[in-house]
Structures are given as C-alpha cells and as structure tokens.
Amino acid sequence: MASSAPATACIARLAADRRVHQAFQWLHLHEQQIMRWQAEMVAIAAPPFGEQARAEWLCVRFRDLDLGEPHLDEAGNAVATRRGTDATSERVLISAHIDTVFPAGTPVEPALRGSRLSGPGACDNGAGVAAMLALTAAMRHASLETAHDVIFIGNVGEEGEGDLRGMRHFYRDGGEGITAHLVLDGAGDQTAVTHALGSQRWLVTVRGPGGHAWTDAGRPNPIVILSRAIQKFSEVALPDTPRTTVNVGTIEGGTAINAIPEQAAARFDLRSTDPEQLVRLEVELHRAVEDAVLAANRGQHENSAGVRSSIEKIGDRPAGRLPGDSMLMQFLQAVDRHLAIRTEPRIASTDANIPLSLGVPAMSLGAGGEGGGIHTRAEWYDGRGRESALRRVLLLLLAVAGG
Ligand SMILES: [Zn+2]
C-alpha cells in the first residue's frame, strides 16, 4: 500500500535509533522491576469510586520517574506530562485504567511466584499500569525525546458503573490538540481494539406496598413482578449480525423472608456493534417492565397502593471507530510488520470509546504477557513475553509523538 510508505519509513528510522535500542535494552533487563511495580499496585485496593489510594501511589511513581507536574485531577485521575521539544499545542496521550471491578472489602493480597502474579486485578489492569511505568522508565533511561508532549494518565472509572468517567472528564473539552491516544489494558501483544463497542446499562427498580407475609398475603410482590419482566425481556430475539448481547448482571431486593418485599432491582447490560439495536432493546426493556407492572396492578383493588417501576440509565458508552486509513492505524501496521506481529483489530468497550466517539485517533492495546481469570478473584498474570508488547507500544508511541 503506497500510502503506508511514510509510516514504514518512520518506524524503520526509529528502529535503527541507538536510543530506541537502549530503551529496548532497559525493558529487557528490568522485568523484575516492572513486576514489582505491578505487585505493589495490585496490593492497593481500587474498587469502583474508591481509586484514590492507588492514584496517589501512581503519582509518586510518576514523580520518581521525573514526569512533569504529577497530580490528581478533579475526577481522581493520576496525570503527568513528559514535555516535548516542540512548542506546539499538540499532545499525545497514553493511559491505563487503575480501577478494578472488585467491591470495597475484597481481599487483595497478591501473590508473586516466579513470573506469575495472582490476585484480583493482577492483569486487568495491573499489566497496563505496569507497562505505562516501564515505558516511562525506558524512555528516561535512553533520553528519548518527542516533538509533542506525552501525557500519562492512570485513569479512574473504566470498569462497570464507572462508565468511563475518568476519560470523559479528561475529554470534557472535546480533546482539542490531542493527535493520538494509546490505551493500555490487560495482557497480550497482538490485539488492537480500534472499533469501540457501544453499550447501555440500565437499573430497573420495582416498588410495591410491601407487607406481612401472612396477614397481607395477596399484595403484589416486586420480586415476582421483576422476575416476570426479566423473563419476558430474556425472550427478545438477538441477532448474531450485528452482534448484540444482553446480560442481567445483578438482582437484589426484599427485606426478610417473612415480609412481602417493598422493592426489587436488577441491572442490565446491553451491547451491540450497531447503535440501532440498542435503541430497539431499550424499547423492549421498557415494554417488558411496564407490561409486568400493568398486569400486577390490574389485579389489585383500586384503593390499595399500586406497584411502580423506574427504569434508569446508569451507563452509556458511545460507539466509534478508528478509520482504517488513519495515520495511527498505518503506524500500528508498520510497527507490527517490523516486529513480525500479526495485527488483530478488534471491537470492544474500552476507555478508547470516548476519544473514538469524538473523532480522536485512539486504540486500546494489550500490555503483553498472559493473563486469565479476568474479573474473578482467581485472576492471574504471567509476565513472560511481556517485552514484545512493550516494544510494540514504545515504537508506536514514539511514532505518533514525533520521536
Ligand atoms: Zn481493563
């Protein structure tokens, strides 16, 4: 492809640069240091909306690595800057989310045996944050310079109901001047998420008068009504193409075994590669809930308190796509050719949804090594082979930042 020639030439030039070799050498020799950072960070709990201790830890690491102005922004993101040599306003971002899916109180003591780190969040996103620190350290060691400023962000709110709030906050001004954004998330060295999967999350609550299990028997039961709504919504047909999925992730409610519940609630996660499917599912969800509530109220006496429901949107991740002919994509392909990596473009919901939805070139990349048991307490990460992904990200970062 003729249009990729400048990208190929740029990567060839970077790969021949003595300082880049020095940075690669640093990465080769410091796997233990990288893993130590990872284990240290994973040992600090970072439940949704409770990331501050971890963000503060990261700020100290940023300072140790001589990044400029390490601080926590209003959203709680840890942010620092590596100044470029050009006095333009162009900036490049590299980010890794610091939050985990695990609620406060989950035991986090990670165990490090050889190259393997076990514990909640060991890979997602211990791997991404450790990679970000490794790249900073390698660039500092090799005195690598870039034309543009590189902003490093350990961001909050990627998982679950965080709803990408860390990234949303950073892009609240629309991302002006940001020419590229690399997100580091999880393990692997071949994938690149370049297509942002849209998702919507809903909280459905059903409320009733409640009462005593024996003396008030016959009053409407919100748990039963919600269950009927879930049953009906589960029967909605989902197309394979465009791939569309539905998950009921949590259900809760009730007061005691001998009380008619006053309320029941469930959370739904709807995803599709096609925004129109999400609109259709939203309508179906409302229909399922309203039908179940209507049917319950129909049987009740007019003067008895009725059943009410509310349907609240608690998450909305916008869709987006990196154009195939964008410079960032061409750089990635040139890097992967150079490193003999088979590029695997993927679709997923990541922090890159925010920049991609705003038209800022972005992708989410694996931070190397291998991981498993993601989002479970048996999560693990193995750092063997991490180096190749770090080289990949470093070359790409230097290319987009004008290294
Ligand atoms: Zn993640």
Q: pLDDT tens-digit profile of 105-125? A: 998 889 999 999 999 999 999
CA of 9 to the centre of ligand 1 (A): 33
Residue 302: the pLDDT is 56
Between residues 186 and 303, the one the model is more confident about: 186
Q: Is the pLDDT of residue 303 over 60?
A: no
Identify the three-state secondary structure at position 106. coil
Cα–Cα dist 322/2, whole Å: 20
**Number of Cβ atoms within 10 Å of the Cβ of 255:** 11
- pLDDT-derived band at 2 (thresholds 50, 70, 90) equals very low
User: Strand 111-113 and strand 116-118: pairing?
Assistant: antiparallel
Instruction: Calculate mean pLDDT across residues 161-188.
Output: 93
CA of 336 to the centre of ligand 1 (A): 23
- pLDDT-derived band at 318 (thresholds 50, 70, 90) equals confident
Q: Is the pLDDT of residue 74 over 50?
A: yes
CA of 139 to the centre of ligand 1 (A): 24
CA of 12 to the centre of ligand 1 (A): 31
Q: Is the pLDDT of residue 1 over 70?
A: no
Q: Over the stretch 14-60, which tens digit does the pLDDT of each residue have?
A: 999 999 999 999 999 999 999 999 999 999 999 999 999 999 999 99
**Distance from the first to the final alpha carbon of the chain:** 24
Cα–Cα dist 32/21, whole Å: 19
In this structure, are residues 396 and 329 in contact, taking their beta carbons and an 8 Å threshold?
A: no
CA of 158 to the centre of ligand 1 (A): 7
CA of 166 to the centre of ligand 1 (A): 13
Q: Is the pLDDT of residue 3 over 70?
A: no
Between residues 77 and 159, the one the model is more confident about: 77
CA of 97 to the centre of ligand 1 (A): 7
Residue 299: the pLDDT is 72
Instruction: Calculate mean pLDDT across residues 383-400.
Output: 97
Q: Is the pLDDT of residue 266 over 80?
A: yes
Of the chain, the percentage scoring pLDDT greater than 90 comes to 86
User: Strand 380-382 and strand 116-118: pairing?
Assistant: antiparallel
Residue 263: the pLDDT is 98
Q: Is the pLDDT of residue 97 over 80?
A: yes
Interior/surface letters 107-143, b for 16+ CB within 10 angstroms, e for the rest? ebebebeebbbbbbbbbbbbbbbbbbbbbbbbbebbe
CA of 268 to the centre of ligand 1 (A): 20
Cα–Cα dist 11/333, whole Å: 10
Instruction: Calculate mean pLDDT across residues 298-307.
Output: 71
CA of 160 to the centre of ligand 1 (A): 10
Cα–Cα dist 235/233, whole Å: 5
Interior/surface letters 27-46, b for 16+ CB within 10 angstroms, e for the rest? beebbeebbebbbebbbbbb
